[in-house]
Amino acid sequence: MTINILKIGKLKTISDIKKYDLNKPIFLDNYLFHYLILTNNLSALKLYQYPVYKQNSNGYNGIILASKNGYYNILKYFIKTYPKYIYSVD
């Protein structure tokens, strides 16, 4: 299976994101929200309560991934929206 990261970066509506399995990895151990973080797509991240504590194939949860890539807008949103996951590891 291949994924189109550019297409994921352009997701904007709940119907767009529901085309993907939101609670299971879509490629290797990477969930949709990992790709939304990598494409800095905060608007799509706000549409659903993702399991941001889940780690990707590199062992990064959503908070660490946003921080590692310097996406402070996403990091700020995650800290405000998912405060209980700041120190959580799956």
Cα 13 from Cα 64, distance rounded (Å): 25
Cα 18 from Cα 76, distance rounded (Å): 24
Q: What does the pLDDT average to over 77-82?
A: 93
| pLDDT of the residue at 2 | 73
**Which among 25, 83, 84 has a CA at the least distance from the CA of 33?**
25
Per-residue pLDDT tens over the stretch 12-46: 999 999 999 888 999 888 999 999 999 999 999 99
Does the pLDDT at position 90 exceed 70?
Answer: no
pTM listed for this prediction: 0.91
